[in-house]
Amino acid sequence: MVNGSAELNKLFEQYLNCKLKGRKRFELEELETFLIKKTGGMSTYQSAGGYQALYQLLKEKEEKGRIKAIKSSTYNSRQPVLKSRWQLVVKNAVQVWQDQLIFQLSRQLDLRYYLKRPWLQTKELAERLLRLAEFLCKKNDREWASREERSLELFADEKFLSTAEGRKFLSSLSLNLAALKAEKYSQMFVYWNKGTMIKKILILENHSAFIACKRALTADYNIFSYAPDTLIYGEGKHIIESFKFLDELLAHLEKENRQQVEVKYAGDIDPEGWLIYYRLKEKYPEYKLELFAVYYREMIKQGSLNAYPINSQQNKNNIILEKILGELKKAEDVKASMVDRIEQLWNEDLRLPEELITYEVLTNKRV
């Protein structure tokens, strides 16, 4: 039996000493082929951790300055991704920063991470840190910007700060986005309003449900005897972050008065749908948010003959289910049979999608 990562590490050193024969560069594919062969085949290699263990091994060696990825090489097609070509780091070739530079940077930056790792002290990194230090020196005179705007300004790459590399870079300096006067902007939700003051809001998890309800209201139908003046397309989990934009729509109301605005939620009957509602209610306690019980009752009616398997990636949280069932039991027009059906669907890993409520169902035109 292969002793996991320790055995792979031993074989990696063997590969460097014997297989490379003085070469400083190596191919990822060649290394993995060597490890598979030396461990006794693919099955034994997988038992030792396989590609995931190889990924961790290379990242650890890179962190310690033993190896580095060749920048011009392509990424492989595996997950997590790795560069296809690597090279050994020759210690005496590593550039070490001068004391004057370190003193200059230390006025604005915590350099402990890089002082402990002299092999990372490259000219390119120094130039990046100088730009960052200059910004920090003047940041009190700067306005807040989006993460992408600041990333482009400081690193000539608008996506850098959103990548794992960018996040690690900030962490290595004990910084965060706020230190750069940058923030990750959420995308505002899509909404429809009758043209009246906002008093009754209905959030729909899915786009087709949002469109169906919009069509019905535009045609002067109510949504199962409920007449919201505003619809919000939740776009799945995105609503958990984007819902804060409701503050802009309700700017005329004091925060303590926002409980006057009625907010109902309707989504899929499945663990993901319940989770979205629960997180939303938990994050925005200043709003009077509740499940649109009648809508769920109609979903169960429309799906009485059919239910659909839950995606295996959905996580079931029984505590959330209990909270959902507890709220529904207190709602008007909710019978015990409806609560039982929701619990049955949960236990049998089945779901009812919101798309069961079509425009025809809303307008009672389905034949």
Q: Are 250 and 258 in contact (CB under 8 A)?
A: yes
Predicted pLDDT at 313: 76
Question: Any bridge partners for residue 288, and if so which?
Answer: 262
pLDDT at 116: 85
Average of pLDDT values for 312-341?
A: 90
pLDDT at 328 over 90: yes
The DSSP code sequence of 167-201 is HHHHHHTT--GGGGTEE-PPPPPEEEE-SS---EE
Local confidence band at 95 (pLDDT 50, 70, 90 cut-offs): low
Q: pLDDT tens across 38-72, in order? A: 999 999 999 999 999 999 999 999 998 889 999 89
**What pLDDT was estimated at residue 110?**
96
Alpha carbons 300 and 277: distance in angstroms, whole number: 18
Contact 265, 280 (CB under 8 A): yes
294 pLDDT higher than 80? yes
Beta bridge partners of 201: 230, 263
Cβ proximity of 59 and 68 under 8 Å: no
pLDDT confidence of residue 312: 74
Return the pLDDT at 187: 78
**pTM check: above 0.75:** no
Report whether 62 contacts 88 (CB < 8 A): no
The HSE-up count of residue 104 (CA atoms within 13 Å, CB side) is 13
Name the band, by pLDDT with cuts 50, 70 and 90, for residue 34: very high
Tens-place pLDDT, residues 148-179: 999 999 999 999 999 988 999 999 999 999 99
pLDDT(35) > 70: yes
pLDDT of residue 367: 44
Q: What is the mean pLDDT of the chain?
A: 90
Backbone angles phi, psi at 143, to 5 degrees: -90, 160
The pLDDT, as a whole number, for residue 151 is 95
> Given this model, what pLDDT does residue 249 score?
84
pLDDT band at 3 (very low <50, low <70, confident <90, very high): low
Structure tokens at 279: 């997180």
Partner residues linked to 233 by β-bridges = 190, 204
Q: What per-residue confidence (pLDDT) applies to 2?
A: 44
3-state secondary structure 219-271: CCCCECCECCCEEEECCHHHHHHHHHHHHHHCCCCCHHHHHHCEEEEECCECH
The DSSP call for residue 17 is I
Nearest to 56 by CA among 22, 125, 17, 8: 8
- In the chain, where does DSSP find H-type helix? 4-14, 28-39, 42-47, 50-63, 99-106, 112-115, 123-138, 147-155, 164-172, 207-218, 239-242, 246-249, 271-283, 293-302, 318-330, 336-347, 359-362
Tokens of 297: 């009752």
119 has a pLDDT exceeding 80: no
Instruction: Give 4's pLDDT tier (boundaries 50, 70, 90).
Output: low
List, for residues 206-265, the tens digit of each pLDDT value.
999 999 999 999 999 999 999 999 999 999 999 998 998 888 888 777 666 777 899 999
Instruction: Classify each residue of 97-111 as buried b or exposed e, where b means 16 or more C-beta atoms within 10 Å of its C-beta.
Output: beeeebebbeebbeb
Share of the chain above pLDDT 90, in %: 71
- Judge contact between 80 and 59, C-beta under 8 A: no
To the nearest whole percent, how much of the chain has pLDDT over 70? 94
Mean pLDDT in residue range 8-31? 85
For 305, the token pair is 């003959």
What is the radius of gyration, based on Cα positions, of the chain? 28
pLDDT class for 366, splitting at 50, 70, 90? low
Tell me, what's the pLDDT at 174?
Answer: 96
